[in-house]
Amino acid sequence: MILQLLINGFVTGFIYVLICLGFAAIYKLIKAFHFAHGVVYALGAYLGYTFFILLSINPLISFFLSIALAALLGIAVDRFVYYPLRKHKASNLVFLIASFGVFIFIQNLIQLIFGAQILTLRTGPIREGHHILGAVITDTQILIIISSLVLFLLTWLLIQKTKLGKAIRAVADDPVGARVAGINSEKIITAVFAIGSALAGAAGILISLETNIEPTMGFSAILKGIIASIIGGIGSIPGALFGGLFLGLAENLGIWQIQAGWKDAIAFVILILFLLFRPSGIMGVKTEKEKL
């Protein structure tokens, strides 16, 4: 029984990790909450549906097309909404409200185009999973876990081992110094939006192999992403891993005690407690305190 919940917990957890990774990386660079990240996730799912189900394109190609377009959406949001705000030196709050605006706009655009009904990426009959020690794990779940792990590792490698990754870390830690060293911070920001949004899009597709696709799926997702980031420590990659898995496991292990309807509320209670008492999270960077 516990093993089953653990399996479910890891599946959910890894999806959260992918969302959280992009969100946290973007936060680290622009120091603002990219709430619209949730809708990039949703778009990934809908694009996957469009290419794979509606247009019957090969699944792997559908996947890559979808995440590429998701990346484009992320870049577009930054270019058309956040970049002007950065020029105006807008406060974090203004970023957040604008981000809400983008979220609302795109979520409803999706609903306008695809309708409000539930869609799915699943094709064919539901296959029975593999039995391990009294628990069941389906092929889909295995796929999700492995894909997520691969994507996480690829991202980690990119950040730690490549030249681009070094530049990203430089701009994140010391924007002025990076500029002096000749790094174009706007290009780096664009790159991070591309990567983060691709991850979100991927998360959207992967989760849709297991659950339903609906226009409001982005809301719950970004909510979890934010909470996982704050628990794990916003702006930290290991923090994203920890926060995402922690949240996924906590949700599933506690599920028999809490009714499903309360999940969002519980998540927000946790968020508010962290915001009030431990905003730097478990592993994260200290948030900037107001200078006197």
Partner 1 sequence: MEYLIHILIIAGIYTILSLSLNLIVGYTGLAALGHIAFACIGAYTSSLLALNFGISPWMGLIVGAILASILGAIVAYPSLRLKGDYLALATFGLGVIVYSIAKNWVSLTRGPMGLPGIPSFSIFGYQISNAWSYLILVLLFVFLTYIVIKNITNSPFGRILKGIREDEIASLAMGKNVNKHKLIVFIVGAFFAGIAGSLYAHYISFIDPSSFTVMESITVLLMVVFGGMASLKGSFVGAFLLVILPELLRFLGMPSSVAAPLRQMIYGLLLVILMIWRPQGLMGKYKFK
Q: Which residues contact partner 1 (rule: CB under 8 A)?
A: 32-33, 81, 84-85, 88, 90-98, 100-109, 111-112, 115-116, 215, 226, 259, 261-262, 264-265, 268-269, 271-272, 275-276, 279, 290, 292
Q: Which is nearer to partner 1, 91 or 160 (CB)?
A: 91
CA separation for the pair 280, 237 (Å, rounded): 14
Q: Which is nearer to partner 1, 170 or 275 (CB)?
A: 275
DSSP letter at 52? I
Q: Which is nearer to partner 1, 98 or 205 (CB)?
A: 98
Q: Which is nearer to partner 1, 169 or 263 (CB)?
A: 263
Find the shortest distance in angstroms from Cβ 234 to partner 1: 11
Q: Comparing C-alpha atoms, which of 65, 204, 46, 199 is closest to residue 111?
A: 46
The tokens describing 59, both together, are 């699944």
162 by Cβ neighbours in 10 Å (0-12 / 13-18 / 19+) ranks as: exposed
Find the shortest distance in angstroms from Cβ 272 to partner 1: 5
Q: Comparing C-alpha atoms, which of 218, 219, 164, 232 is closest to residue 13?
A: 232
Find the shortest distance in angstroms from Cβ 213 to partner 1: 16
Pair 54, 117: CB distance under 8 Å: no
Task: Provide the 10 A C-beta neighbour count for residue 19.
Answer: 32
Find the shortest distance in angstroms from Cβ 163 to partner 1: 32
Q: Which is nearer to partner 1, 1 or 260 (CB)?
A: 260
